[in-house]
Structure 1
Amino acid sequence: MIAALAGCGRLLPSRTDSLNDPVEEFEHVTSSEMETSGGGTMRTSLRGDIRFDVDEEQLLDALDPVWRSVVEYIFEKDEGFGSRTVLVTAHGADGSTVEPRELLGSEVADQFGSLSFIHFFEHYGLA
């Protein structure tokens, strides 16, 4: 039963130290708490939070190089298969928040619902 639940991504996500540790080395990042779920099956995601020491005006600029690194990590982890959903929020020191989708053009960023990594693979020239 546990194997079946793990395969469906229904178990609790696991901390992704091999991703969080390098992210925390970026300038302006104060903490990274992202987790993967689903183990490459139908319902996979990357969820969590990245906290920065910048305010709203600089938050998106600070997120961009960090997010590129995250996207490259997921590209390698998922062998270029971009269906993993993005459920990550960046937090500024002033309490502001942005989602990585705001790094994309407005056509994609303004879509409602979940967003998959394939959009970021294309944005960063990996696809």
Structure 2
Amino acid sequence: MVAALAGCGRLLPSQTDSLNDPVEEFEHVTSSEMETSGGGTMRTSLRGDIRFDVDEDQLLDALDPVWRQVTEYVFELDDGFEMRSVLVIAHGADGSTVAPEELLGPEYAADQDATVYFGDFFEHYGLI
């Protein structure tokens, strides 16, 4: 039972690095500190922060190619399972923040109480 519950926790650092290291290679990214919860079949979320060296007016444009790679990573990791929630924030050099759901359009950005799942991004980036 302990082994089964351990699969619901965070990924080991080496597995998390396989997401954060490539993200940090993108132009304008200064650091990436994301982690998944819910390994195995109990996938729950991707949470953390991505920091950029751009200000608010460029932050969403800088996030888009990075988030495409993150979405492709999660799609492969979860075999297309669409229900992992997104709890990631992008931070600009000027202290601004955006959530990845702002890439999906104003209707997602306006509803700050709604949970956003990777299925929305799979569709947005043409993975399903």
Mark yes or no: TM-score above 0.5. Answer: yes
- Structure 2: which amino acid aligns with 1:26? F
User: Mapping of 1:64-79 within 5 angstroms?
Assistant: 64-79=64-79
Q: Distance in 2 between matches of 1:63 and 1:110?
A: 18
Q: Considering fraction of residues, name the structure with more helix.
A: 2
Q: How many residues align?
A: 125
Structure 1 residue 44: deviation in Å? 1.5
Q: Distance in 2 between matches of 1:72 and 1:12?
A: 19
Q: Distance in 1 between matches of 2:46 and 2:60?
A: 19
Name the counterpart of 2:126.
125
Gapped runs of 5+ residues in structure 1? none
- Structure 2: which amino acid aligns with 1:119? D
Tell me if the contact between 2:47 and 2:86 (Cα under 8 Å) persists in the aligned partners: yes
Name the counterpart of 2:51.
51
Gapped runs of 5+ residues in structure 2? none
Tell me if the contact between 1:54 and 1:93 (Cα under 8 Å) persists in the aligned partners: yes
Q: RMSD of aligned C-alpha atoms?
A: 1.5
Tell me if the contact between 1:49 and 1:89 (Cα under 8 Å) persists in the aligned partners: yes
Name the counterpart of 2:36.
36
Query: Structure 1 pair 117/63, CA: closer, same or farther in 2 (3 Å)?
Result: same
Q: Distance in 1 between matches of 2:95 and 2:12?
A: 26
Query: Structure 1 pair 12/69, CA: closer, same or farther in 2 (3 Å)?
Result: closer
* TM-score normalised per structure 2: 0.89
Tell me if the contact between 1:6 and 1:38 (Cα under 8 Å) persists in the aligned partners: no
The 3-state SS of whatever aligns with 1:121 is helix
Structure 1 residue 43: deviation in Å? 4.8
Q: Deviations over 1:56-95 (max 9, x none)?
A: 0000000000000000000111111111110100000001
Name the counterpart of 1:91.
91
The 3-state SS of whatever aligns with 1:126 is coil
Q: Distance in 1 between matches of 2:6 and 2:81?
A: 20
Name the counterpart of 1:20.
20
Tell me if the contact between 1:36 and 1:47 (Cα under 8 Å) persists in the aligned partners: yes
Query: Structure 1 pair 105/51, CA: closer, same or farther in 2 (3 Å)?
Result: same
Name the counterpart of 1:115.
116
